[in-house]
């Protein structure tokens, strides 16, 4: 799917999710308008369940307008294909950052978690036109869905499996089981406290650098997921106050957790030792990880956890123009490399050639005896020639 789809020029594949594929694209308009967006496409348009999930995400995204939530820009229908148009966050997701750096400093983790908590609280409290609370539960709070911009912005994405608090998935538990709350893993009703649990697991993973074990496709839910206990964090990775916050957020009993994401956010913001400019600190961490991430992109690896970019990504990279001075340098190097074998052959030929035979000496010509000055100059050059050759050398030097 590299080329044009309607008004969008597809740049490269960004990977696959549970619902479908993601593509980086450009939208061009009048007067030089150009904007990068992300297109989400279902795997199979014949799957009515996937199509309905995409439409539900579009409808929900139309009313979730928050600085910490990836914006839904529109829904396109081109031929038989439906495209969900999403905001492009120029950066990397938290999963990639953890892959690059391992565990993160606790002030950075507290900042990222507080921003995600703000998004969750907004989604849960958002009201419709009739004044009813939407009570949206994300149900898949995990590192790949936390997007980080190069400027230090934090945005929660992929509300594709989000649902109202009293809703159950017809196909059982939905989301990454490694971050699921026990009640979600059992298929029981979920509410804001379920997302609080998932955010607590995410904080523990970012603080320790140890991610929950993943199952085949990360969709199957093993029985132990409903009985999970998050270990107490050691003091070398988190201060006691933050360790206590994570412990409360990940309590197995929902009643023992923070009642809302807003309450969790307040606790995080009250921590002592927080950064004065956490967004700038996060930006610095991302930029340190950026060179290696750029290499991964050039090799066609994914910017999204657990996936790989497809071969068209390599073709997109190869279409970039080559600067003239690069071509000139390559030409010079090629010419030098081609000349080296010839020079080597000439040198070897010169070394192996037999010495030239001196011609028969002619009858000696009488010459005046050398002066003292000429004899001294001749000796200074260290000549080892015989007496018969000396007169000839003196004549050639005049």
CA–CA separation, 130 and 25 (whole Å):
36
Q: With contact defined as beta carbons under 8 Å apart, do 88 and 24 qualify?
A: yes
**Residue 173 and residue 184 in contact, taking contact as beta carbons nearer than 8 Å:** yes
The answer to whether the pTM exceeds 0.85 is no
Write the CA distances from 31 to 11, 28, 34, 281, integer angstroms.
21, 9, 9, 37
Q: Which of 93, 99, 121, 140 is catalytic?
A: 140
Position 132 confidence tier, pLDDT thresholds 50, 70, 90? confident
Q: For position 284, what pLDDT does the model report? A: 93
Tell me what pLDDT residue 350 has: 66
Q: Where are the domains of the chain?
A: 90-313
140 included as an active-site residue: yes
Q: What pLDDT, in 10s, does the model give residues 183-207?
A: 998 888 999 999 999 999 999 999 9
Over residues 27-40, the mean pLDDT reads 90
Q: Which two tokens stand for residue 321?
A: 């123009």
260 vs 67: CA distance, rounded Å: 19
CB within 8 A of 150, min separation 6: which ones?
Answer: 90, 91, 283, 286, 287, 290
Mean pLDDT (the chain) is 78
The residue count for the chain: 398
- Residue 143 CB coordination number (10 Å): 21
How do beta strands 163-164 and 136-137 pair?
antiparallel
Give residue 362's pLDDT band: very low, low, confident or very high (50, 70, 90): very low
In the CATH scheme, what architecture does the domain 90-313 have? Orthogonal Bundle (1.10)
Residue 293's pLDDT band (boundaries 50, 70, 90)? very low
For range 6-31, the mean pLDDT: 88
Is pLDDT at 177 greater than 70 in this prediction? yes
């Amino acid at each position: 799917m590299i080329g044009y789809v309607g008004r969008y020029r597809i740049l490269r594949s960004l990977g696959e999710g549970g619902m479908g594929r993601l593509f980086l694209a450009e939208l061009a308009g009048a007067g030089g308008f150009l904007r990068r967006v992300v297109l989400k496409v279902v795997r199979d348009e014949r799957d009515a369940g996937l199509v309905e999930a995409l439409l539900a995400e579009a409808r929900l995204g139309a009313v979730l307008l928050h600085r910490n939530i990836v914006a839904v820009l529109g829904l396109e229908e081109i031929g038989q294909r439906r495209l969900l148009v999403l905001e492009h966050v120029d950066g990397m997701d938290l999963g990639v950052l953890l892959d690059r750096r391992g565990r993160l400093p606790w002030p950075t983790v507290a900042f990222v978690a507080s921003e995600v908590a703000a998004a969750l609280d907004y989604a849960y409290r958002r009201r419709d036109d009739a004044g009813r609370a939407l009570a949206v539960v994300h149900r898949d709070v995990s590192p790949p869905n936390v997007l980080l911009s190069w400027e230090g912005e934090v945005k929660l994405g992929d509300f594709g499996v989000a649902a109202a608090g009293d809703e159950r998935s017809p196909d059982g538990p939905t989301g990454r089981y490694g971050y699921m709350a026990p009640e979600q893993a059992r298929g029981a009703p979920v509410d804001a406290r379920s997302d609080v649990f998932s955010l607590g697991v995410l904080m523990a993973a970012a603080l320790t650098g140890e991610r929950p074990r993943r199952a085949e496709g990360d969709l199957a839910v093993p029985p132990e997921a409903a009985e999970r206990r998050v270990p107490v964090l050691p003091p070398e990775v988190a201060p006691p106050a933050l360790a206590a916050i994570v412990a409360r957020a990940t309590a197995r009993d929902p009643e023992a957790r923070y009642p809302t994401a807003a309450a969790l956010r307040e606790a995080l913001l009250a921590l002592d030792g927080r950064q004065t400019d956490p967004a700038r600190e996060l930006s610095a961490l991302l930029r340190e990880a950026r060179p290696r991430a750029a290499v991964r992109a050039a090799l066609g690896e994914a910017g999204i956890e657990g996936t790989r970019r497809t071969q068209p990504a390599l073709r997109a990279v190869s279409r970039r123009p080559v600067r003239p001075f690069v071509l000139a340098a390559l030409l010079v190097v090629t010419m030098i490399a081609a000349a080296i074998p010839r020079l080597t052959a000439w040198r070897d030929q010169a070394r192996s050639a037999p010495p030239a035979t001196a011609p028969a000496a002619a009858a000696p010509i009488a010459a005046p005896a050398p002066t003292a000055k000429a004899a001294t100059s001749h000796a200074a050059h260290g000549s080892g020639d015989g007496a018969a050759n000396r007169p000839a050398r003196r004549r050639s030097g005049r």
